[in-house]
Structure 1
Amino acid sequence: MVEPSETALLGPSEIRGLADELRIRPTKKLGQNFVHDPNTVRRIVELAGVGGTDVVLEVGPGLGSLTLGLLGTGARVVAVEVDPVLATRLPDTVRRQAPGASGRLSVLAADALRLAAEDLPERPSVLVANLPYNVAVPVLLHLLAELTSLGRGLVMVQTEVADRMAAGPGSRVYGVPSAKLAWYGRARKVAAVPRSVFWPVPNVDSSLVAFERAAPPAGPDRDTVFAAVDAAFAQRRKTLRAALAGWAGSSARAEALLTAAGIDPRTRGEQLTIHDFTRLAAGDV
């Protein structure tokens, strides 16, 4: 494992210096809010449980704050950055701040939403990322679908999004993200992240969500189940009998499928577990 003294993490002055050097002005479009607090980086790495045998997929490394913390564990890091300027500069930052660690870093200038397994030089075992707020859920669902080697992860997202990701049935924020993530495994909110550790300071609160992959429910394929999930929450104020009418072909057909699955047709989508949705979808196959 790399000794801590070999990895110099980035503080506020280093972050501002790099941004000025690269003429970077963080944009809302790309969700760029850079972590400049080394203690926060250390906490994220610790909560992610990253070790020297891991291959970490980092999405949105930005100026390299978290990248350096991950490399400090001895892990290999595959960093995916959509901003070509940042992607080009990251290897040099690592060479300067963490001598000897650059051989364990691979950088791809790519959009994580279009990433495929064959694009990566290695099969990642862990996802650790500061995900842009506007695409956090689509990115996470895409990566879990594409990269079956990912067994666990820790992502930093807007607290409102974190609540939806980790919500269980019956919660007022339980919805499509909650149910679809449950297909892949268990998500839980593990810690809050202060606004003050970012530059620029965001207008929203952030939280860390941990994820552990598990075997999907036995039954229909993912797309079939997800179609039922989407239909159930498209009109969440309606009973499932009404909300699923279009998906099933008619209200009567929806009621029959619900009844066969052991689900009260008068209930609503937020009451159903992913196993309920799987049983429901099985009747329509």
Structure 2
Amino acid sequence: MEPSRLLGPVEVRELAAELGVAPTKKLGQNFVHDPNTVRRIVAAADLAPDDVVVEVGPGLGSLTLALVDSVAAVAALEIDPRLAGRLGRTVEQRASCYAERLEVVCVDALRVGRADLASTPTALVANLPYNVSVPVLLHLLEEFPTIRRVLVMVQKEVADRLAAQPGSKVYGVPSVKASFYGRVSRAGTVGKNVFWPAPNVESGLVRIDVSPGAERSLRERTFALVDAAFAQRRKTLRSTLAPLYGTAAAAEEACRAAGIDPGLRGEKLAVGDFLRLARQEQR
């Protein structure tokens, strides 16, 4: 896309003033005003021309404008009615030849369902609201099993946790639940000054290559095991999983049947270990 079509600092502030929008922490609003950053996000997503992208929190349209000329369609989920109402006109004004590719849905991304979208998404690319980034990510991955690629910008500490490996100090529930869906990796760091207003923290890009073989039927039980294992980080699996199995002895037996040392702590287990535990109950 031509640089002039993307939003810079002046255009972002003019649009916000027109709409009477003051970015709020409640909605996690920090508007990207740097064209190079949005181009970088689109490049890191490694999208194909036939991809259908779901974008969360498009705001004033900075990333949306960079997406519509790269893919077949973009479904933009925006909870703020003022922003949702203006987005289509912004794309029409600045990228009219791609305007028909945009679908704007005024909805809470935590509650969106398949029936809300006219298209079937194959990718998730978004600057996620920091206050609900992990719940939104996990909800969309479960709700839209057709998504095969994810590239999201989140708070840097959250990015570190999502991509952490077993045994790492920041490895935890988000790490395991994200990796349930596929391979999670860091795709870079983004500074504060590309946003208006500038947040107090740096941001990180996270990429997920979704596995077509993800055992979604095991999601509920696997996630329950993960939540229990990390509920008391200093205790062993024998203790933390006891409530799920009835007794510590039963939890130990389940761990051993899955080839897992019940004396380990949850942070030592990879997603495959939790899946083996979940599979035990299907036998």
**Are the equivalent residues in 2 in contact too, given 1:190–1:207 (CA < 8 A)?**
yes
**Are the equivalent residues in 2 in contact too, given 1:220–1:282 (CA < 8 A)?**
no
**Are the equivalent residues in 2 in contact too, given 1:9–1:65 (CA < 8 A)?**
yes
Q: For 1:19, which of 16, 19, 22 is the aligned residue?
A: 16
C-alpha deviation, 1:217, in angstroms: 5.5
1:178 aligns with 2:212: no
Amino acid at match of 1:123: T
C-alpha deviation, 1:216, in angstroms: 4.5
Q: For 2:132, which of 131, 135, 144 is the aligned residue?
A: 135
C-alpha deviation, 1:222, in angstroms: 1.2
2:231 aligns to what?
234
C-alpha RMSD over aligned residues: 1.5
Q: TM-score, normalised on structure 1? A: 0.95
Q: Deviations over 1:21-77 (max 9, x none)?
A: 101000000000000001111111111122321111111100000000001325311
Q: TM-score, normalised on structure 2? A: 0.96
Q: For 2:36, which of 35, 39, 53 is the aligned residue?
A: 39
Amino acid at match of 1:168: Q
Aligned positions of 1:198-213 closer than 5 A: 198-213=195-210
**Mean alpha-carbon deviation: is it higher for 10-19 or for 94-103?**
94-103
Aligned positions of 1:1-285 closer than 5 A: 4-5=1-2, 8-216=5-213, 221-285=218-282
**Mean alpha-carbon deviation: is it higher for 162-171 or for 24-33?**
162-171
Q: Counterparts of 1:217 and 1:23 in 2: how far apart (Å)?
A: 44
Secondary structure at the aligned position of 1:129 is classed as: strand
Amino acid at match of 1:24: V
C-alpha deviation, 1:204, in angstroms: 1.0
Q: Which runs of 5 or more residues in structure 1 are unaligned?
A: none
Q: Counterparts of 2:79 and 2:43 in 1: how far apart (Å)?
A: 26
Secondary structure at the aligned position of 2:188 is classed as: strand
- Aligned residues with identical type, % of pairs: 57
**Are the equivalent residues in 1 in contact too, given 2:77–2:108 (CA < 8 A)?**
yes
Secondary structure at the aligned position of 1:112 is classed as: coil
Secondary structure at the aligned position of 1:114 is classed as: coil
Q: Deviations over 1:115-138 (max 9, x none)?
A: 111111100111100001111111
Amino acid at match of 2:145: T
Q: Counterparts of 2:216 and 2:281 in 1: how far apart (Å)?
A: 11
Check 1:219–1:152 CA distance in 2 against 1; reply closer, same or farther (3 A cut). Answer: closer
Amino acid at match of 2:106: A
Q: Counterparts of 1:7 and 1:70 in 2: how far apart (Å)?
A: 15
Q: Deviations over 1:196-237 (max 9, x none)?
A: 000000011101001111144669621111111111011111
Q: Counterparts of 1:18 and 1:243 in 2: how far apart (Å)?
A: 51
